[in-house]
Amino acid sequence: MGNDAFDVTSHLAATDMANDIRNNRIDGTLHDNEIFGKEGRSERRNPVVIAAVPDTGQHPLRSDGDRQVLEVGWLGLALSTHPDAVAAIEVGVGRQPDLLPFGALTEVPVRAGAVSERWARRLTMCDPTAAHVVLAQGKRAEAFFLDPLTDMPVLRTDDREGQQVWRFYAPLSSRPRPPNWPRSSCTPSERLWWGDGWGDRPSEAATVINLLLDDLGAVPNLREHWNAPKGLTALLNEDHKQGTELTRSTLLHARMTPPRTR
Protein backbone atom coordinates (compact mmCIF):
# COMPACT_ATOMS: atom_id res chain seq x y z
CA MET A 1 0.00 0.00 0.00
CA GLY A 2 1.98 2.97 -1.26
CA ASN A 3 -0.27 5.81 -0.11
CA ASP A 4 1.48 8.56 1.85
CA ALA A 5 -1.82 9.51 3.52
CA PHE A 6 -1.44 6.64 5.99
CA ASP A 7 0.92 6.17 8.90
CA VAL A 8 3.39 3.31 9.29
CA THR A 9 1.07 1.04 11.26
CA SER A 10 -1.75 1.42 8.73
CA HIS A 11 0.70 0.57 5.94
CA LEU A 12 1.78 -2.52 7.88
CA ALA A 13 -1.81 -3.65 8.47
CA ALA A 14 -2.84 -3.33 4.81
CA THR A 15 0.42 -4.87 3.54
CA ASP A 16 0.15 -7.79 5.94
CA MET A 17 -3.34 -8.58 4.65
CA ALA A 18 -2.26 -8.17 1.01
CA ASN A 19 0.66 -10.54 1.55
CA ASP A 20 -1.65 -13.10 3.16
CA ILE A 21 -4.04 -12.88 0.19
CA ARG A 22 -1.15 -13.32 -2.27
CA ASN A 23 0.24 -16.29 -0.34
CA ASN A 24 -3.14 -18.03 -0.26
CA ARG A 25 -3.74 -17.49 -3.97
CA ILE A 26 -0.32 -18.81 -4.94
CA ASP A 27 -0.72 -21.85 -2.67
CA GLY A 28 -4.13 -22.51 -4.19
CA THR A 29 -2.84 -22.20 -7.75
CA LEU A 30 0.11 -24.49 -7.09
CA HIS A 31 -2.21 -27.03 -5.55
CA ASP A 32 -4.55 -26.92 -8.55
CA ASN A 33 -1.61 -27.31 -10.91
CA GLU A 34 -0.49 -30.42 -9.05
CA ILE A 35 -3.94 -31.93 -9.27
CA PHE A 36 -4.78 -31.14 -12.90
CA GLY A 37 -1.44 -30.39 -14.56
CA LYS A 38 0.57 -32.62 -16.85
CA GLU A 39 3.76 -32.05 -14.89
CA GLY A 40 2.12 -32.80 -11.55
CA ARG A 41 0.66 -35.96 -10.08
CA SER A 42 -2.52 -35.89 -12.14
CA GLU A 43 -4.04 -39.29 -12.91
CA ARG A 44 -6.46 -37.84 -15.43
CA ARG A 45 -6.41 -39.35 -18.92
CA ASN A 46 -5.98 -35.91 -20.47
CA PRO A 47 -4.10 -33.73 -17.97
CA VAL A 48 -4.16 -29.97 -18.44
CA VAL A 49 -1.13 -28.26 -19.92
CA ILE A 50 -0.30 -25.36 -17.60
CA ALA A 51 0.39 -22.23 -19.67
CA ALA A 52 1.86 -20.18 -16.81
CA VAL A 53 2.85 -20.69 -13.19
CA PRO A 54 2.97 -18.23 -10.29
CA ASP A 55 6.22 -16.47 -9.43
CA THR A 56 7.40 -18.18 -6.26
CA GLY A 57 10.73 -16.38 -6.05
CA GLN A 58 9.76 -14.62 -2.82
CA HIS A 59 6.98 -16.94 -1.76
CA PRO A 60 5.66 -16.87 0.88
CA LEU A 61 5.67 -13.19 1.76
CA ARG A 62 5.63 -12.33 5.44
CA SER A 63 2.11 -12.05 6.80
CA ASP A 64 2.45 -12.69 10.52
CA GLY A 65 3.01 -9.21 11.92
CA ASP A 66 2.66 -8.30 15.58
CA ARG A 67 -1.03 -8.50 16.42
CA GLN A 68 -1.12 -5.38 18.59
CA VAL A 69 0.60 -3.32 15.89
CA LEU A 70 -1.80 -4.63 13.24
CA GLU A 71 -4.81 -3.77 15.40
CA VAL A 72 -3.55 -0.20 15.80
CA GLY A 73 -3.07 0.01 12.04
CA TRP A 74 -6.58 -1.22 11.33
CA LEU A 75 -8.01 1.33 13.76
CA GLY A 76 -6.14 4.05 11.85
CA LEU A 77 -7.60 2.84 8.57
CA ALA A 78 -11.10 2.67 10.07
CA LEU A 79 -10.90 6.30 11.24
CA SER A 80 -9.36 7.55 7.98
CA THR A 81 -11.32 9.55 5.38
CA HIS A 82 -9.23 8.40 2.41
CA PRO A 83 -10.96 6.28 -0.31
CA ASP A 84 -8.11 3.73 -0.21
CA ALA A 85 -8.90 3.11 3.45
CA VAL A 86 -12.48 2.22 2.46
CA ALA A 87 -11.18 -0.42 0.05
CA ALA A 88 -8.91 -1.88 2.74
CA ILE A 89 -11.68 -1.99 5.36
CA GLU A 90 -14.11 -3.62 2.89
CA VAL A 91 -11.62 -6.45 2.34
CA GLY A 92 -10.69 -6.62 6.01
CA VAL A 93 -14.31 -7.03 7.16
CA GLY A 94 -14.55 -10.24 5.14
CA ARG A 95 -11.02 -11.51 5.56
CA GLN A 96 -9.53 -10.44 8.89
CA PRO A 97 -12.47 -9.36 11.09
CA ASP A 98 -10.63 -10.48 14.22
CA LEU A 99 -8.09 -7.67 13.71
CA LEU A 100 -10.67 -4.93 13.17
CA PRO A 101 -11.63 -2.68 16.08
CA PHE A 102 -15.31 -3.63 15.90
CA GLY A 103 -17.59 -6.63 15.78
CA ALA A 104 -20.72 -7.65 13.93
CA LEU A 105 -23.02 -5.22 12.12
CA THR A 106 -26.01 -4.41 14.32
CA GLU A 107 -29.22 -2.42 13.94
CA VAL A 108 -31.65 -1.17 16.60
CA PRO A 109 -34.80 0.91 16.01
CA VAL A 110 -34.77 4.64 16.71
CA ARG A 111 -37.41 4.58 19.42
CA ALA A 112 -38.23 7.04 22.18
CA GLY A 113 -38.11 5.57 25.66
CA ALA A 114 -35.97 2.58 24.69
CA VAL A 115 -32.68 1.76 26.41
CA SER A 116 -30.96 2.59 23.13
CA GLU A 117 -32.14 6.21 23.45
CA ARG A 118 -29.90 6.67 26.49
CA TRP A 119 -26.97 5.26 24.52
CA ALA A 120 -27.79 7.47 21.51
CA ARG A 121 -27.62 10.63 23.63
CA ARG A 122 -23.90 10.13 24.19
CA LEU A 123 -23.10 9.79 20.47
CA THR A 124 -21.00 12.53 18.89
CA MET A 125 -21.86 13.71 15.38
CA CYS A 126 -18.87 13.60 13.02
CA ASP A 127 -17.77 13.49 9.39
CA PRO A 128 -17.97 10.02 7.83
CA THR A 129 -14.89 7.80 8.12
CA ALA A 130 -13.89 4.76 6.08
CA ALA A 131 -15.62 2.58 8.65
CA HIS A 132 -18.85 4.59 8.23
CA VAL A 133 -18.76 4.12 4.46
CA VAL A 134 -18.34 0.35 4.77
CA LEU A 135 -20.99 0.28 7.52
CA ALA A 136 -23.49 2.05 5.25
CA GLN A 137 -23.20 -0.66 2.58
CA GLY A 138 -24.47 1.71 -0.07
CA LYS A 139 -27.45 2.93 1.98
CA ARG A 140 -28.13 6.64 2.40
CA ALA A 141 -27.36 7.91 5.89
CA GLU A 142 -29.00 10.89 7.59
CA ALA A 143 -26.09 11.53 9.94
CA PHE A 144 -22.82 9.97 11.09
CA PHE A 145 -21.68 9.53 14.68
CA LEU A 146 -18.93 8.09 16.87
CA ASP A 147 -19.52 6.49 20.24
CA PRO A 148 -17.01 8.38 22.45
CA LEU A 149 -16.78 5.46 24.86
CA THR A 150 -15.79 2.85 22.28
CA ASP A 151 -14.86 4.80 19.08
CA MET A 152 -17.44 2.72 17.22
CA PRO A 153 -18.89 4.16 13.99
CA VAL A 154 -22.66 4.73 14.07
CA LEU A 155 -25.09 6.08 11.50
CA ARG A 156 -28.81 6.76 11.36
CA THR A 157 -30.65 5.44 8.33
CA ASP A 158 -33.88 3.72 7.24
CA ASP A 159 -34.46 -0.03 7.17
CA ARG A 160 -36.30 -1.92 4.42
CA GLU A 161 -39.68 -0.88 5.85
CA GLY A 162 -38.68 2.78 5.93
CA GLN A 163 -38.31 2.89 9.71
CA GLN A 164 -35.39 4.80 11.22
CA VAL A 165 -32.66 2.63 12.74
CA TRP A 166 -29.31 3.07 14.38
CA ARG A 167 -26.74 1.04 12.44
CA PHE A 168 -23.37 0.33 14.04
CA TYR A 169 -20.63 -2.21 14.49
CA ALA A 170 -20.84 -3.94 17.85
CA PRO A 171 -18.07 -2.70 20.18
CA LEU A 172 -15.38 -5.12 21.31
CA SER A 173 -13.95 -2.96 24.07
CA SER A 174 -14.43 0.32 25.89
CA ARG A 175 -11.78 2.70 27.12
CA PRO A 176 -12.77 3.28 30.77
CA ARG A 177 -14.52 -0.02 31.57
CA PRO A 178 -17.17 -2.34 30.16
CA PRO A 179 -20.59 -0.70 29.79
CA ASN A 180 -23.30 -1.30 32.38
CA TRP A 181 -25.58 -3.01 29.90
CA PRO A 182 -23.80 -5.83 28.01
CA ARG A 183 -25.22 -6.49 24.56
CA SER A 184 -24.88 -9.39 22.15
CA SER A 185 -25.49 -9.96 18.44
CA CYS A 186 -26.75 -13.42 17.49
CA THR A 187 -27.48 -15.26 14.31
CA PRO A 188 -31.13 -16.05 13.45
CA SER A 189 -30.70 -19.60 14.79
CA GLU A 190 -29.43 -18.40 18.18
CA ARG A 191 -32.45 -16.97 19.98
CA LEU A 192 -31.78 -15.77 23.51
CA TRP A 193 -34.75 -15.57 25.81
CA TRP A 194 -35.60 -15.14 29.47
CA GLY A 195 -38.53 -15.71 31.79
CA ASP A 196 -40.32 -18.87 32.86
CA GLY A 197 -39.75 -21.38 30.07
CA TRP A 198 -42.18 -24.02 31.35
CA GLY A 199 -39.37 -26.21 32.57
CA ASP A 200 -36.61 -24.95 30.33
CA ARG A 201 -34.18 -22.34 31.62
CA PRO A 202 -32.56 -19.40 29.76
CA SER A 203 -29.06 -20.77 30.08
CA GLU A 204 -28.12 -19.61 26.55
CA ALA A 205 -28.59 -15.96 27.51
CA ALA A 206 -26.79 -16.58 30.80
CA THR A 207 -23.84 -18.04 28.89
CA VAL A 208 -23.55 -14.98 26.65
CA ILE A 209 -23.87 -12.51 29.53
CA ASN A 210 -21.34 -14.43 31.60
CA LEU A 211 -18.72 -14.07 28.86
CA LEU A 212 -19.50 -10.42 28.05
CA LEU A 213 -19.14 -9.42 31.68
CA ASP A 214 -15.46 -10.34 31.41
CA ASP A 215 -14.64 -9.80 27.75
CA LEU A 216 -16.72 -7.94 25.16
CA GLY A 217 -14.80 -9.71 22.41
CA ALA A 218 -15.54 -13.22 23.66
CA VAL A 219 -17.28 -15.69 21.34
CA PRO A 220 -19.80 -17.85 23.22
CA ASN A 221 -20.13 -21.56 22.59
CA LEU A 222 -23.84 -22.15 23.08
CA ARG A 223 -23.34 -25.91 22.91
CA GLU A 224 -22.00 -25.58 26.46
CA HIS A 225 -24.87 -23.41 27.71
CA TRP A 226 -25.82 -25.86 30.46
CA ASN A 227 -22.57 -24.86 32.20
CA ALA A 228 -23.75 -21.26 32.61
CA PRO A 229 -23.56 -19.83 36.16
CA LYS A 230 -26.63 -21.00 38.03
CA GLY A 231 -27.20 -17.62 39.64
CA LEU A 232 -27.37 -15.84 36.28
CA THR A 233 -29.67 -18.49 34.88
CA ALA A 234 -31.96 -18.15 37.91
CA LEU A 235 -32.08 -14.35 37.53
CA LEU A 236 -33.03 -14.61 33.87
CA ASN A 237 -35.62 -17.26 34.66
CA GLU A 238 -37.64 -14.69 36.62
CA ASP A 239 -40.57 -12.91 34.97
CA HIS A 240 -39.25 -9.35 34.90
CA LYS A 241 -41.56 -6.49 33.96
CA GLN A 242 -41.42 -5.11 30.43
CA GLY A 243 -38.57 -2.61 30.15
CA THR A 244 -36.65 -3.88 33.19
CA GLU A 245 -32.94 -3.04 33.05
CA LEU A 246 -30.46 -5.43 34.62
CA THR A 247 -27.34 -3.41 35.39
CA ARG A 248 -23.82 -4.75 35.37
CA SER A 249 -23.81 -4.75 39.17
CA THR A 250 -27.00 -6.81 39.25
CA LEU A 251 -25.60 -9.30 36.78
CA LEU A 252 -22.29 -9.65 38.65
CA HIS A 253 -24.14 -10.14 41.94
CA ALA A 254 -26.35 -12.82 40.41
CA ARG A 255 -23.34 -14.60 38.90
CA MET A 256 -21.74 -14.86 42.34
CA THR A 257 -24.94 -15.89 44.13
CA PRO A 258 -26.03 -19.51 43.95
CA PRO A 259 -29.80 -19.92 43.49
CA ARG A 260 -31.84 -20.76 46.54
CA THR A 261 -33.19 -24.25 46.80
CA ARG A 262 -36.86 -24.57 47.55
* pTM of the shown model: 0.62
Positions of the chain with pLDDT lower than 70, given as ranges:
1-3, 37-47, 173-193, 195-201, 217, 243, 260-262
Confidence (pLDDT) at 225: 84
Containing 74, the helix (H) or strand (E) segment is helix 67-79
CA distances to 126, 133, 135 from 90, in Å? 21, 9, 9
Confidence (pLDDT) at 181: 43
CA distances to 96, 192, 203, 233, 253 from 237, in Å? 37, 12, 9, 6, 15
Contacts from 243-251 at CB under 8 Å and sequence distance 24+? 245/115, 245/181, 246/181, 247/180, 247/181, 248/178, 248/179, 248/180, 248/181, 248/182, 248/213, 249/180, 251/182, 251/209, 251/213
Confidence (pLDDT) at 178: 40
Q: With beta carbons less than 8 A apart as the criterion, state whether 170 and 103 touch.
A: yes
Contacts from 244-247 at CB under 8 Å and sequence distance 24+? 245/115, 245/181, 246/181, 247/180, 247/181
Confidence (pLDDT) at 125: 92
Confidence (pLDDT) at 214: 85
Q: Where are the domains of the chain?
A: 8-97, 102-171, 177-262
Confidence (pLDDT) at 187: 43
Rounded Cα distance, 224 and 245, in Å: 26
Pairing status of strand 102-109 against strand 124-125: unpaired
